[in-house]
Amino acid sequence: MPSSLDAASRRRQTRMRREYLYRKSLEGRDKVAYEKKRLVREALAGGKRLPTELRASYDTLKESVDAEDTRTSEVRTHMDDEYGDAGLIEPRVCVTTSRDPSSRLKQFAKEMKLLVPNSTRINRGNNRVDELMDSCRQSEYSDVVIVQETRGQPDGLVICHLPLGPTAFFSLSSSVMRHDLDPPAAPMSEAYPHIIMNNFNSTLGKRVGNILKCLFPVPKADTKRVITFSNDNDFISFRHHMYSKPTHDSVALHEVGPRFEMRLYQIRLGTLEQKEADNEYVLRPYQNTATKRQVL
């Protein structure tokens, strides 16, 4: 029998999810209204004639435009609800594994924990996904990172943003851990890293870049730790370096590790246990145009 505290927490999560879905359902209508107000603003600013289709509703639109401020003048989407506090509150990340992990996956999870500042690694045990998500919500984690394996080789990465989502699923390949690097890895710094997002140009690419970079807090300007996500033909190369300046006009890079390649195959508009949530993106590699299509 769940306690009254657990029941109240579940009711709160259900209410937040319902409000989120309601705001998301209004996005189409809000976008149309935003376009009308934008045309009115441009006509007033430039001294131009109003479009014919807006003249009947001009008074209502003018009142709405006059009442706007810097927060309400731009159209907002469900992404603003998900990452509205990014950069204001430092993320707290929970790192865990799939059930019954091998020693190599445990080591990879330890390195992921060192990689992400303000993260905590927990043992998965026999916890179901819904139990894991409830526990992370109650502990006020902002994100959950789950690493998965096949025959001892890390081959999957799941990033779930709390409390509303989204959840991004990546496949991993060519993973090399710190102790396998040649030459040996440089010492791991705990400074907040600079994040380099290379070649994420499309709308989906910017969405994926936002999901990845929001795992990390805002760094100091003088930190010498750099994390790179570089997109090449929809494969994301992950690299982790420290840099130094031996002289005033030269820079030396030292790889810290780990390194791996990622490929996005699904984004779900919800948390990991919400199987009924809508899919924002699903990789379809067997369609005729799949080899020509670059989504990121």
Q: pLDDT tens string for the chain (296 positions)?
A: 456 667 777 777 777 777 767 666 666 666 777 777 777 777 777 777 877 777 777 777 777 777 776 555 565 655 555 777 777 889 999 999 999 999 999 999 999 999 999 999 999 989 999 999 989 988 999 999 999 999 889 999 999 998 888 999 999 999 999 888 888 887 788 899 999 999 999 989 999 999 999 999 999 999 999 999 999 989 999 999 999 888 888 888 889 989 999 999 999 988 999 888 889 899 988 876 766 778 88
Contact 120, 112 (CB under 8 A): no
Number of helices (H), then strands (E), belonging to the chain: the values are 7, 11
Dist CA 123 CA 161 (whole Å): 19
What pLDDT sits at residue 26?
A: 61
What pLDDT sits at residue 114?
A: 92
Nearest Cα to Cα of residue 121 among 132, 129, 109 = 109
**Which residues are paired to 241 by β-bridges?**
226, 255
Q: What 3-state DSSP class applies to 57?
A: coil
- Beta strand 167-176 pairing with 194-198: unpaired
What pLDDT sits at residue 1?
A: 44
**Which residues are paired to 148 by β-bridges?**
156
Query: Hey, what amino acid is at 143?
Result: D
Q: What 3-state DSSP class applies to 59?
A: helix
Residue found by looking up tokens 């300007």 in the block: 221
- Supply the pTM of this predicted model: 0.78
What is the chain's length? Answer: 296
